Structure 1
């Protein structure tokens, strides 16, 4: 299969390339990145794609076998052409939202590691994205686990599904959240991930986004989606049946396992780590503490408010994470800002441009609140 990879220079993109390099039936024909053009060009030298995309490639020397793409229009033309049979979205954010929706409607295989793309698409089109687009494959470990189980279990007999969370580095933190630095928030105990998702995982906002994602992907009512903190990160999702039996997916916290499962219709041998139950000894489960992880519950509230609010929440969270990493706000400020943004009235989006405007509205409202805080200080 001829595939394109957007976000190849990020952590998820690097892991996708590692897995693809071991599968000869995949040919990488396009690599796309943003600011890290040196890494992108090194990848292009190694994987020899026909195309390399970045808005920052203008005037740079690229490998002679590559065509340079610097605009979204050029990128879209290649992705929608017969030269590309499947696309990996490994970049966070909504930069490729319009292209993503167009690709879904072509029927090309589309692997998605961006929560924001799925949430915005669901906010526009409603729940049940996988029913409308069966060629859409989620790359989150929890949703990949649900995707595996829900294909085998009768929907009408399911009582509840559980998404698991590690709890992040601060689940047992005894100090003030105001003292948490970006370096502390980026030190995840179990997973290696990109910057934004790691910060979101530290305050469990990420898990709220994943509840939104599950709702929009699988057409499961919000009241049937629950979250459990699973400290060892080896149980990725659980499905509880009406008769009380529970099915689960167990695996080491390694995204390469998820990627390999997502690209192959068969279960293949692999060189990655395996689960050793004798070394586990114990599994710990708990529920998120509401007083400690308000951002998680605000995400659930945004979903319950209906169409428009999940997109607004995503935009506000994008701004909060950026300003926390640049030390303009504290870790403790994030849920307060998110809560104030959700107080605004919004209407359900009816078009791609309305979704994009809602995301930007959430971002700009959060930034306005952050500016007010800096003035007051």
Structure 2
């Protein structure tokens, strides 16, 4: 029996993770659930899964939840201190980090320092501080198992001898705009950007998928997860989202992982690793399917090219890219800036940053705050 702490339980990944728990009641139990402010959904989850601890990031939400579940034997905590207690204390042996954004970094480090296995759905953790996190995992002897479908695919296809790898190939659906006429991109609305053709995800990651910034961040994530140079990481547009990623070996063999566009599969694998569990999820049917692959247009999707440049430069620059992009996406969703400005603002902030090679947490967080402040100022200017 594995005991879980699920960070971000009311979000898309968190809800699907609890479906996996419901599918495997003899293998999984929940110690802690955490969320930002969705009290109604958290109450439902607490009553269904009976965790010992529930954490709300917002003070008022924690107060309301405490009142709502006072008939249950559950402790209610709040804020970052509560989040850290959820991963450090108690019997949880596996932490699913399904938080959105840079906020996921400190809980990941805390979980590893406490000797917990990490199922990572928060790519920003590795984008912002990949060297720091992977060093912590190595010291602790704890696995970091990716939950992103693309990295889970590579994780499953990658053989022990890394020197035999010719390249990693990350697939991208292309989002809703990969074949839309370029002249239409300037007028993209938030509603249109949130209509992903294949996946049901949160708002921020859905917009990132539309700009291909998500894939750029995944390139940086793959570099750290698999200790692979950027020259050996490629991206292909695969609109069907059936082949989730591939590994090409030096002898010309290519291993690919295929599956339905169902995030419960990589979530369950992260929980079951190194084994595989049966489930009742729908199976992939390849009859009549056509699989197509295209080279991404980096002029049309400049976020991808920007992420490669930033990743190769390293230092504090990836943290700056991530922070600026988070601010710009939020501003776009709030109709403060147009769609095209998202990547432009991220690039402008990166260009103004004096990169530090210091890899400590304080330096990274300082760069993050600097980037957010400048990005907010640029967004206000439009």
Instruction: Indicate the TM-score class for this superposition, using the shorter chain for normalisation.
Output: over 0.9
**Number of the residue aligned with 1:17:** 18
**Number of the residue aligned with 1:298:** 306
SS in 2 for 1:355: helix
- Structure 1 residue 74, shift from structure 2 partner: 3.6
Unmatched 5+ residue regions in structure 2? none
SS in 1 for 2:248: strand
Contact 2:127–2:318, Cα closer than 8 Å, also in 1: yes
Unmatched 5+ residue regions in structure 1? none
**Residues 1:71 and 1:337: Cα distance change in structure 2 (over 3 Å):** closer
**Number of the residue aligned with 1:52:** 54
d(CA) in 1 for partners of 2:151 and 2:142?
14
Once the two structures are superposed, residues 333-353 of structure 1 have per-residue CA deviations (whole angstroms, 9 ceiling, x without a partner) of 112111111112221243212
Confirm or deny that 1:187 pairs with 2:192: no
Aligned length: 370
**Number of the residue aligned with 1:154:** 161
- Structure 1 residue 156, shift from structure 2 partner: 1.5
Contact 2:109–2:136, Cα closer than 8 Å, also in 1: no
Once the two structures are superposed, residues 114-173 of structure 1 have per-residue CA deviations (whole angstroms, 9 ceiling, x without a partner) of 111122231546x777656542111000111111122x3521211111000001100110
Contact 1:101–1:121, Cα closer than 8 Å, also in 2: no
Confirm or deny that 1:66 pairs with 2:74: yes
- Structure 1 residue 53, shift from structure 2 partner: 0.4
Once the two structures are superposed, residues 78-124 of structure 1 have per-residue CA deviations (whole angstroms, 9 ceiling, x without a partner) of 42124222211111112242232121123211111011112223154
d(CA) in 1 for partners of 2:86 and 2:232?
40
Contact 1:129–1:216, Cα closer than 8 Å, also in 2: no
d(CA) in 1 for partners of 2:373 and 2:237?
32
**Number of the residue aligned with 1:288:** 296
SS in 2 for 1:286: coil
- Structure 1 residue 237, shift from structure 2 partner: 1.0
d(CA) in 2 for partners of 1:58 and 1:145?
41
**Number of the residue aligned with 1:351:** 360
d(CA) in 1 for partners of 2:137 and 2:105?
17
Name which of 176, 179, 190 aligns with 1:172. 179
SS in 2 for 1:3: strand
d(CA) in 2 for partners of 1:248 and 1:130?
26
Name which of 364, 371, 377 aligns with 1:362. 371
d(CA) in 2 for partners of 1:27 and 1:142?
26
Confirm or deny that 1:215 pairs with 2:223: yes
Contact 1:168–1:189, Cα closer than 8 Å, also in 2: yes
d(CA) in 2 for partners of 1:172 and 1:98?
38
d(CA) in 1 for partners of 2:171 and 2:121?
17
d(CA) in 2 for partners of 1:96 and 1:290?
29
**Number of the residue aligned with 1:238:** 246
Contact 1:229–1:286, Cα closer than 8 Å, also in 2: yes
Confirm or deny that 1:115 pairs with 2:123: yes
Confirm or deny that 1:319 pairs with 2:322: no
**Number of the residue aligned with 1:135:** 143
Matches within 5 A, 1:86-105: 86-105=94-113
Contact 2:97–2:119, Cα closer than 8 Å, also in 1: yes
TM-score, reference length from structure 2: 0.92
**Number of the residue aligned with 1:8:** 9
